[in-house]
Chains A and B, each alone.
Chain A
Amino acid sequence: MTPVEAGMLGQVALLAAAVAAALLVPARWRSRVGGILCTLLAAAGVVTGVIALSGGQGSLTIPAALPMDPLVLSPDRLGGLVMVVVSAVGVLASLFGIGSARVASASRTAWASMAVFLFGMQLVPAATDVVSFLLLWEIMTLGSTALLLAHHATRGTVASALVWYSAMSQLSFFFVLAGFAVLAGATGDTGFAALATLDPASWQAGLAFVLLLLGFGGKAELVPLHVWVPRVLPEAPGHVAAAMSGAMVNIGVYGALLVCVRLLPNGPAWWGVLIMVLGGVSALYGILQASVASNLKVLLAYSTTENMGLVFLGLGASVLLRRDHATGAADAALLAALLLMVSHAAFKATLFLGAGAVARSTREMNLDRLGGLGGRMPWTAGAFGAAALGAAALPVTSGFVAEWMLLQALVHGSRVGGEVVSVTASVAMPLAVAVIALTAGLALLTFVKAYGIAFLARPRSEKAKQAREVPLIMRIPLVIGAILVIGLGLLPGPLAEALASAVGPAFTPDVRTIGLAGVDARGIDVVLDPATVVAIAALVLVPVLAAILVSARRHPTRVSPLPWAGGGSRLRPRMQYTATSYAEPLVRVFDDVLRPTRDVEVTHVGESRYLVERVHVEQSVSDVIETRFYRPVLGLAQRFGILARRAQNGSIHRYLSYSFVALLVVLIVVSL
């Protein structure tokens, strides 16, 4: 038995143990035992993934009861990479869950489905044929649905969120199923190796590509299948949201990689353009919604759409550029997509866990009522801050390295040796740079807002004032997450080498480690060594710090009870800028896109027209895609539903006559 096989068997065994423990252990110990077993399950996934990534072989054959070939699970390097990322987030989420799970999220259903969810997610990348892929995909989806359902008892809003989630995940499952069906129909087999023999230029490949892109895009929370995200994630507790938004979306990315790297590499140029458009629109729309959101979890949820959009943008650019023989840039773009996926998993999991910690301490997710948590929850604030730096793609985090790589790939992509590669690329690359730049700018604002409003300034409500730091078991995953975000940013060289090996042997990006663990992308001749930049910054900091120390000894800081505020001494915490007011200029700038509804109501004092007693302002930004696209579609569906109700009135005679007519039609058709 190879280590990979042992790892996968271990995961199966741990799944059984975790489910059994969740169902049998009494409530007092359930969270601890269940959480530890889930952590071990995820840790087994990390180990298996690392071995598979470093080239370990091995397969698990499940003789299925279905009348077809046995299911074979055997992760290749790419699958191993995704397994590592997904399970690492699973470890953090499970650890956090031990401390944070209460009442509903510590129920039997919750812990059992958490284990099932993690298991499905970890093994999807190991599937080697369509059937096992879809089976594990459904296990993952059902696990997450049941996990959300566990909260049904306590919160009413969960129900509607859950309907959206189920509808959207079944929609994307349908697309994936249809896409694979087309592929299998064209090649006559369901194994991935057999599917890969199809010519990417054929019409079946094109159709399957579109269907699979929609399906996997939906799982990766891309527009327009993202509508469940801002509804579901705010309802889920922190660790569940972290697992869904940090890990599950990567399965969508894995699907897209499977199509573009393994099954149908070297697709035509329009594939690349389509992926880029989908990614670009998602990135812009996601970050725009995130930047105006006031609920911390909604903000993070939309930011996932943004980041996944960037991943797909990189993937699309790599498909397009490979077609145009700009191989160096294409490899760099593919690498950038992988880097983005890894870094997003690290910072998004940490951010959601941080949000979970805030929710536990304050029971408040509205940024407009938070504030001043930095001093009250220093660990959470530090971890959230580091992860927010990653999400804003600032140095020296992993997010920065990923975005840098993507920009470099795009800048070097439109020309090779001074010659324009193609008209399509020369139009697509600058536009993509513009999209990424605007996205990065808005992400900066979004996360300055998220961190600054929640953790700095003064508490805007009593609940925020009473906040306390979370217990140790919840701080550990937060700190690990923060270390990952910064550490991966400081060591991009080894990381990039590992990622480059994962897309082999189909593609072989030429990257090396250089300097202090810096990355050297030789295909496009660019170098980045964050550790050296940090060293220079440290050297520059030395004289500044010396000056501060000297000055601080002579002139110590004095503390005044009130801020100066331009002379306004009667300053109350309510007069601070809130998240809503922080985003107000942006809402005005993007008025045409966001279409906010504003309601201002002024109450006057007595008869006077000049003295105002109270001003009531209400502003809400809804999801334009939901209101403009889904609502009309749903309305139409409902009208059909009403018509259908007339046909389906429950009368047995009518059903029988339907069958009779159908039989007659069939017979007539056959006789023709």
Chain B
Amino acid sequence: MFDTVYPQLIGLCTGALLLTSALLVWRHSLLASIRLLSVQGFALAALVAVIGLEEGEAEVIIVSVLVLLVKGMALPWVLAHETRATTRTDEAPRLNPTAGLLTVALLTILSYVVASRLLSGDTSISAHAAPIGLAMVLIGFLLLVTRRQAGSQLIGFLVLDNGIATVAFLTSGGVPLFLELGISLDVLLVVVILYVFAGRMRNKFGNTDIDQLRKLHD
């Protein structure tokens, strides 16, 4: 029974990951982005759980719970808590949404082409979907490059991280539990630290526009 729906479930989870990444490029509002990020965390957790069920490994299921807690709940909560304290939650990205979305589509195609060269030998269903992880990494980079606010850059960073995790789970069935634990905690720590800094910068300069930070080193 599970074997028949397995490809569908993998498809659904990776589809959700891709869709949320695309929507993150579309939406300007920081709060909406955080909500999408949370959905993405849930989708990633679901993906891990599906792989775990297929392989029948309890360890992977534990990892999925961990992913759910950290990426689906904790990180978005930290971000949302911090963002509500600020006044400006709208982003004016360098790339207009139209061009951004088209770039997303092209990046996805690019990752498909690249992955089809790299993974041509592997025909398993999960490896087939690996380019989506790669696309997420690229989209994360795109967000990092085009966003001005420190907060939304952080979101780009998190998408990138989710992308790496997706590739890892899809190609090798996941990283060892301790490594995953370490990475998740690291990411959490980085986010907390960055947000503390961002909050202090805002108190000091009134905003966190990265463009204006260039003046800081003077």
Q: Looking at the complex, which of B55-63, B108-116, B153-161 is the stretch in contact with chain A?
A: B108-116
Distance of A427 Cα from B110 Cα, bound (Å) = 9
**Closest partner residue, chain A, to B109 (CB atom):** A427
CA distance A427 to B109 in the complex (A): 7
Rounded to whole angstroms, the CA-CA distance of A592 and B112 in the bound complex is 28
- CB-contacts of B117-159 with A (<8 A): 117
Main DSSP-derived SS at the A contact region: helix
A 425-450 to B, binary, CB cutoff 8 A, 1 in contact else 0: 00100010000000000000000000
Task: Name B98's closest neighbour in chain A (CB-CB).
Answer: A589
For A423, what are the chain B residues with a Cβ–Cβ distance below 8 Å?
112-113, 116-117
Inter-chain CA distance A592–B109, complex, in Å, is 23
- How far is A427 from B111 in the complex, measured between Cα atoms in Å? 11
Report Cα–Cα, A431/B102, bound state, in Å.
11
For residue A577, give the distance in angstroms from its CB to the closest CB of chain B: 25
Q: How far is the CB of A429 from chain B (nearest CB, A)?
A: 12
B134 to chain A, nearest CB (A): 15
- For chain A residues 393-434, which have a beta carbon within 8 Å of chain B? 423, 427, 431
**CA distance in complex: A592, B96 (Å):** 11
Chain A residues whose C-beta falls within 8 Å of the C-beta of B113 in the assembled complex: 423, 427
A3 to chain B: closest CB distance in Å? 53
Q: B interface, how many residues as a size bin?
A: under 10
Q: How far is the CA of A423 from the CA of B131 in the complex (A)?
A: 13
A427 to B117 Cα, complex, angstroms: 14
CB closest residue in chain A, given B120: A423
Q: Which residues of chain B come closer than 8 Å to A431, judged between CB atoms? A: 109
B116 / chain A contacts, CB cutoff of 8 Å: 423
Q: How far is the CA of A51 from the CA of B192 in the complex (A)?
A: 81
Interface residues of A in 431-482 (CB under 8 A from B): 431
Q: C-beta contact mask, A583-616 vs B, less than 8 Å → 1, else 0? A: 0000000001000000000000000000000000
Per-residue 0/1 for B167-204: is the Cβ within 8 Å of any A Cβ (1 yes, 0 no)?
Answer: 00000000000000000000000000000000000000
**Chain B positions within 8 Å of A427 at CB level:** 109, 112-113
Distance in angstroms from B212 CB to nearest chain A CB is 25
Return the chain B residue nearest A430 by Cβ.
Answer: B109
A427 to B113, CA, bound (A): 8
Q: How far is the CB of B117 from chain A (nearest CB, A)?
A: 8
Closest to A431 in B: B109
A567 to chain B, nearest CB (A): 37
- Complex Cα distance, B210 from A212, in Å, reads 50
Complex CA–CA separation, A431 to B105 (angstroms): 10
Question: Across the two chains, which residue of chain B brings its CB closest to A423?
Answer: B116
Q: Which residues of chain B come closer than 8 Å to A592, judged between CB atoms?
A: 99
CB distance from B183 to the nearest CB of A (A): 32
Which chain A residues in 236-253 approach chain B with CB under 8 Å?
none
List B residues 28-69 near A (Cβ within 8 Å). Answer: none
B 79-112 binary contact with A (CB < 8 Å = 1; else 0): 0000000000000000000010000000001001
Roughly how many angstroms separate A270 CA and B116 CA in the complex, as a whole number? 18
Shortest Cβ distance from residue A539 to the other chain B in the assembled complex, whole angstroms: 42
Give Cα A136 to B207, complex, Å: 70
Q: Which residues of A contact B109 (CB under 8 A)?
A: 427, 431
Q: How far is the CB of A418 from chain B (nearest CB, A)?
A: 15
Chain A residues within 8 Å of B112, by CB = 423, 427
A139 to B176, CA, bound (A): 76
Name the residue in A427, A431, A592 with the highest tally of chain B Cβ atoms < 10 Å from its Cβ.
A427
Which of chain A's residues has its CB closest to B115's CB? A423
Which residues of A from 171 to 218 have beta carbons under 8 Å from B?
A: none
Q: How far is the CB of B73 from chain A (nearest CB, A)?
A: 37
- Residue with the greatest number of chain B CB neighbours at <10 A, chosen from A423, A431, A592: A423
Q: Chain A contacts of B117 at CB under 8 A? A: 423
Report the Cα distance A423→B112, complex, angstroms. 9
- In the bound assembly, the distance between CA atoms of A490 and B117 in angstroms comes to 46
Chain A residue with Cβ nearest B116: A423
Chain B residue with minimal CB distance to A420? B116
CA distance A592 to B99 in the complex (A): 10
Q: Return B142 CB to nearest CB of chain A, in Å.
A: 18
Q: How far is the CB of B77 from chain A (nearest CB, A)?
A: 39
Q: Which A residues lie within 8 Å of B99 (CB)? A: 592
- State A286–B178 Cα separation when bound (angstroms): 58
Cβ contacts A to B, 9 pairs, < 8 Å:
A423-B112, A423-B113, A423-B116, A423-B117, A427-B109, A427-B112, A427-B113, A431-B109, A592-B99
Q: Which of B's residues lie within 8 Å of A, judged by CB? A: 99, 109, 112-113, 116-117
Those 5 A-B pairs whose CB atoms lie nearest each other, nearest first: A423-B116, A427-B109, A423-B113, A427-B113, A427-B112
CB within 8 Å of B: which residues of A?
A: 423, 427, 431, 592
A423-B116, A427-B109, A427-B113 known, 5 other contacts, Cβ within 8 Å: A423-B112, A423-B113, A423-B117, A427-B112, A431-B109
